[in-house]
Structure 1
Amino acid sequence: HIEWPMLKSVIPGIFLLIFLLCISSFAVALALGGGPKATTIELAIYQSLRFDFNFAKAAQLGIIQFSICAILGLITIIVSKPVQFSHGLDRKVERWDRTHFRYLLFDIFILTLVCLFLFLPLFSIIIRGIIPIFSLPSTVWIAAFNSTTVAIVSSFISIGMALSMSGLIVRISQKFPITSQSMEIVSFLTLAASPFIIGTGLFILIFPYMSPFIIALPITALVNAAMALPFSLRMILPAMANAEKNYGKLADSLGMTKFSRFRFAIWPRLRRPVGFSAGLAAALSMGDLGVITLFAPADVATLPLIMYRMMSSYQISAASGVALLLVSLSILLFWVFDRGGQLEHNVR
């Protein structure tokens, strides 16, 4: 009577997000391999482009995957109905079931399983990769530079798009609410398309005019930025809407220019979500193995791609070192961006 009405309004959206992330999990399926029974749609697209050069089949498979995701997303929007609850008057929320030992033991059991699932692979990478990381070849460090550059560029592009879209949505939300909601929904279509589908479309468009392999890294940065856009928008848009609601009229009364309005009234309230979003976008881009596999020639690689190549040639020890380097750089980039968003804002 209390928790289920709230849960049934959010479970469809959670299910959709998990489904979209799983159906676009190209990296895991490619790394683990398997026969025809283990082939996913994205693996079939990859084979059609890189081995068969069958553009028609790749396009058909891309349309099939996008249609599945779009139909499921439409159904989710229809069945998701917001539930209204009374205000809590800012009182502290009490969990009255926390005193029951049985419930507490169940929570501990579930959290322990989750931690084991998440941290055991990381511990194995640290144990097996700590020594090989100091003897990695120069090609790995070049790939690390490529990955870091692509991650930083895609992070800035994603944040720029999220800030622009958030500002536009906030400005038109009062006069054109349907248009603003439509723009927000459109931004989430990148999740339905997946980076591999977008990369496939770009490959088909570019191939008649030039070799897609020449611009492998710029294309990877652009697609990764588009993939991070929904997450960045979800974090930046509410913060910008609240800042505009609380300080917009004050800025109007003071006659602030657009730049001054953003600098003094809006930006200080956006620093934290922007920093977190930038770190998340950079971390997501660092670990991407979708687009780069389509576009990268033999002499260009990112860390995930070179790690996959080492695993394919059974260089497990070296691949563990690359994996440890990849995890370390991803955490470092996320920390730098997130920490930068928490610094005090100087208005002078």
Structure 2
Amino acid sequence: MSAPRVVVAGGHSAGHIEPAMNFADAVRRLEPTAEITALGTVRGLDTTLVPARGYPLELIPPVPLPRELNRALLRTPVRLRESVRAAGAVLDRVRADVVVGFGGYVAGPAYLAARRRGVPIVVHEANALPGVANRMAARMTRHVFTAGARLPHATAIGIPLRRAITGLDRAGLRDEARRRFGLRPEGPVLLVTGGSQGARTINTAVSGAAAALRAAGVQVLHITGPQHQVEVPDGDPPYVVVSYVDEMRYAYAAADFVVCRSGAMTCAELAAVGLPAAYVPLPARGGEQRLNAEPVVAAGGAFLVDDADFDSTWVEARIIPVLTDHERLAAMSAKATAAGAPDADVVLARHVLTLVRRAVAP
């Protein structure tokens, strides 16, 4: 059999690109000769994130599709036709055996181009509320995988994650990680992050509880985001403030509990490494982030609190008692781990490679 030729379509945002690249890494581990091409656009993070992972990137015109099947969708036929034509040209040039889509601006045109050519389609949906491109594609193929979203023919496998996360030995890396951030080797550590851009609500609530956290002996690693600052007086135990962390595995290894938003990737990563959390969903997009967090919350591995209700008093009343109770912390960690799916990248890669082999078999 010749080397499988796989096209991945998951452009624009990190939430689409990261699962696509993690899947591609798994394909290469299982089948080193595989030829993998990524579709993207100049509009998002594609031109930064994809080349950094070592994959060739083919650009097509972006076609933002509305999240709902409504009249706005009918106003995009010209742009969509141009983008489908460009995607089809890529599929023809690389002689694609399969298209694996992860949603986003490039997925819809890629699905349509693949369908016209009879190229097998595989869909992965990371979010609890699927976008219109993946809902459309789920009607074109029976090869649909999700992190739990309801789509036709769907199999829930979780989200493809980096090996640096799923293979993380938190206990083994803890001392090094804490030294890296200037934290003590002993004592509970609260990790605070609002995502790559930060979150004002989270920053204000946790920094406002700094005195209570210190009084309880809790150390804090607070990632504010590059556009935000918090003022916390020097004191002991350490309250470390940084604007950004390049390698989150070190932050995860240093931590015992996390306060964060509940994007799909964040929820998947924290479950994979067994970190309990207080999730503060972004109050937008139809409550999608709340849905992302609900499985691990139901399992007992996390708390869920509305953005409007999250303040310093909540931190003091709900988080400090967990961080200062070793047995309760360990129990929540175990429940978070049980809700995780660390092998989604391999499961999806094996399915795609098997599909390709069957499609090209004589």
Compare the two structures and name the one with the higher strand fraction: 2
Bigger Rg over Cα: 1
TM-score range, shorter chain: under 0.3
Compare the two structures and name the one with the higher helix fraction: 1
TM-score between the two structures when normalised by the length of structure 1 = 0.22
State the structure with bigger RCO (CA 8 A, min sep 6), 1 or 2. Answer: 1
TM-score between the two structures when normalised by the length of structure 2 = 0.22
